[in-house]
Structure 1
Amino acid sequence: MINAASTMIVLAAAAMLFGLRIEGQRGNSGTMQQALKGIFFVMPLLFGIGFIAPVTAELIVLAGIAPPLALSPLAAGLIFGSLWGGYATIKGSWL
């Protein structure tokens, strides 16, 4: 069961993680909105690391391609996914 104290702890941790400011008299809705905006702002980067990187690594393995610089397929996928996700986060578009 989730109570108000645990909710505030999670919101405070999210605020510290994403550099958000929590105002004492504002209430939970404003803080939650700020936390979600911070999470959704970095969502393309998280998608690049969490989805594109493993898919790229599997495609490298299935194609039998040797990754550059003697990297493992996962490391090559993480570099590719991080760069593409970072680009999408900064530009606001995947293309």
Structure 2
Amino acid sequence: MSDTYVLILLCAVVTYIVRSGGYVLMSYFGTVNHRVEAGLNAVPIAVLSALVAPTVLNGEWPDAVALIFVCLLSLRLSMLPTIALGVVFLVLLRQYA
């Protein structure tokens, strides 16, 4: 097996252990405080913002326009159609811009 496949497998195992460990740890606490729950619910948005912000600030204008388009789509559609339409829109913008 090449080094790339070993690295991918190790990353998958570590990710599984970390995610499972979080569930096991939270199961010992029973119910959590509403503030902790609100903080945990904010984590995905914070991570997404951290991933998207450098692209928008340092990228081309099609990236920023596609991000605005996806944000507007996410208000009406579920996640899968939003991502699919956002990717298609970004590809079209990059192709013709």
- Structure ranking higher in helix proportion: 2
Q: Greater RCO between the two (CA within 8 Å, min separation 6)?
A: 1
TM-score with structure 1 setting the length: 0.29
